[in-house]
Structure 1
């Protein structure tokens, strides 16, 4: 990535400002919305050494956010904290305007309601210093549909993370029809500097890339439960003990290419291509009626086997870190770093 200049400031935002810094020079981030996703972003940015100012309209937002950061901090310590990283560098602002006043990047993580997103992004655009990129954590809405109330929509991009943002590296970046391409390039470079693994999308796709793939698997799983073909436990085990282990190393495309042996993907398609006509999948969503709803919920309770959500979160965090370390994606992987913490 060679061009990382921020979008050219134009009339609209209430605050005048010098041009945004280079992506690697950002020091202060604003996080607007402090729920599970927004709080995860706060934890990630704090662990990467940024000063973070957060705002959320909920009355209990600050204690809830600080509990989330405290709960995430042990995992972040195992991932490796940046020099100077500290939870004490979090400030919770009283107003949206206060939160973004000195921001060099803004991450919006409000609930998935289109009208709310439109209104909030319009307010953020009006309050954020000129030239500063504003990213939305939306999990499905195209930025074209969300940037309608902004006076300077050119700086609005999607920065879609995977939950929890402090643990899962992926972020998908894409602009809308009125987004300045320079803002997309700048956001991608910033996320990379902030330690994320970035997919920069060339065009808008509803649900983006990873969610589209995840949704296909989710729908097939619901069909199997609805038809009594598999239990929740069966489905989860089929992934964690099967393709999920391969997917942690390489994605489904390269995994299938290996199925072709020395002939690679071409041989795989020649050999297995006809099976695509087999009625193995049902991509139409099943009716989420009460019976299916109850079966999925009860199945998850059974699979949890007495473990609380907190227990499962801790177990997930530990195990994902182990996979990341085992596959060489953490500093010091293979050198024994963190073994003492894992043994506890």
Structure 2
């Protein structure tokens, strides 16, 4: 965003460091603060470890890994220099309440203060803010420099201007912002994850299958399908396409699925020592002979490839739309331009009309 030049990051754990690297990769100047011992050293190490992945994804013109400054335990007077704040302090309302009051007092009143809180609504820590209307949740899916999702969760007093500023800013750094219209515990992605994990833990702890086979069930079915289109579009496609397909699948498979849900409720996972021990044994078997660092590197490489491919497809769609718009301006008033497969043809019903097929 042209109006945002400098970003303030408060908190240099893995989330804060990941945000810092992402902002740097998109050409922003970053001021970073954290009161923790050794915070500056850890920040530098983490940013350096994230940078190769960001280079592979593509850096903005002029982006530099060195374009940040660690300013100490707090932004302090340097708060006046920032145009956007990403707070990533510990997940405690008392800490965030005090910190948000300091940021609210030190920054310009038009600066959006976004919290990376993973489940605590911002209404629980804005009690000391003079300008709560510019505070909202900007919750990333970990790690922010790699995963595109950012959940924007306003509280009842958050202004529409702040929401739109955050949405535009996150989109400008290649994130996919979504707006959660009401404050709910855990927000959206974590709740979806918790729902699936609850059933996964239940199945494995009950001995229905191993952790390894459960992981395979996700990575070879729901994972790739939902990674490309999401559950709603997958349902519509599974029912034959369009909203009618969505309705068709719900009406025909919904009753059976409801019975499955009833069974899931009956066997909901309970967080007991016995169940945790059972799950841990199954995970230990899956991990035998495997190097966790190698698994993490393989995972990240696959994610980078997926996001690069999706980014390329999105750019191609945008280019097609732009080309179609440009061609519209070249066609005489009586002409028509339609988007389809590549090529130029004449309208079969009117030879004076030119049809652009993309």
Return the TM-score normalized by structure 2: 0.81
**Equivalent residue for 1:282?**
264
**Equivalent residue for 2:230?**
251
Aligned with 1:90 (options 50, 68, 76): 68
**Equivalent residue for 2:202?**
223
Cα distance, 1:252 vs structure 2: 0.8
- How many angstroms apart in 1 are the aligned matches of 2:126 and 2:108? 17
Structure having the larger proportion of residues in strand: 2
- How many angstroms apart in 2 are the aligned matches of 1:282 and 1:46? 45
**Equivalent residue for 1:110?**
89
**Equivalent residue for 1:324?**
307
Q: Please say which of residues 225-234 and 264-273 is displaced more in the overlay.
A: 225-234
- How many angstroms apart in 1 are the aligned matches of 2:288 and 2:64? 35
| 2:19 paired with 1:38 | no
Structure 2 residues not aligned, in runs of 5+: 317-358
Structure 1 residues not aligned, in runs of 5+: 1-22, 334-344
Cα deviations by residue, 1:152-202 (Å, 9 ceiling, x for unpaired): 111101101100100011101121122222111111111112221111222
Cα distance, 1:60 vs structure 2: 1.2
**Equivalent residue for 1:199?**
178
Cα distance, 1:328 vs structure 2: 4.5
Q: 3-state SS of the aligned residue for 2:209?
A: coil
Cα distance, 1:285 vs structure 2: 5.4
Cα distance, 1:105 vs structure 2: 0.4
- How many angstroms apart in 2 are the aligned matches of 1:47 and 1:240? 30
- Relative to structure 1, the CA distance from residue 115 to residue 213 in structure 2 (aligned partners, 3 Å threshold; closer, same or farther) is same
Q: 3-state SS of the aligned residue for 1:131?
A: coil
- Relative to structure 1, the CA distance from residue 49 to residue 241 in structure 2 (aligned partners, 3 Å threshold; closer, same or farther) is same
Q: Please say which of residues 282-291 and 310-319 is displaced more in the overlay.
A: 282-291
**Equivalent residue for 2:118?**
139
Cα deviations by residue, 1:247-289 (Å, 9 ceiling, x for unpaired): 1110011111111125511211122011133134535853222
Larger Rg: 2
- How many angstroms apart in 2 are the aligned matches of 1:306 and 1:125? 51
Retained in 1: the 8 A contact 2:3–2:83? no
Cα distance, 1:233 vs structure 2: 1.3
**Equivalent residue for 2:252?**
271
Cα deviations by residue, 1:202-236 (Å, 9 ceiling, x for unpaired): 22222222222111001111111221222221221
- How many angstroms apart in 2 are the aligned matches of 1:247 and 1:259? 12
Retained in 1: the 8 A contact 2:15–2:143? yes
**Equivalent residue for 2:148?**
169
Return the TM-score normalized by structure 1: 0.84
Give runs of aligned pairs for residues 292-303 of structure 1, distance below 5 A. Answer: 292-303=275-286
- Relative to structure 1, the CA distance from residue 302 to residue 44 in structure 2 (aligned partners, 3 Å threshold; closer, same or farther) is farther
- Relative to structure 1, the CA distance from residue 91 to residue 220 in structure 2 (aligned partners, 3 Å threshold; closer, same or farther) is same
- How many angstroms apart in 2 are the aligned matches of 1:24 and 1:307? 46
- Relative to structure 1, the CA distance from residue 191 to residue 228 in structure 2 (aligned partners, 3 Å threshold; closer, same or farther) is same
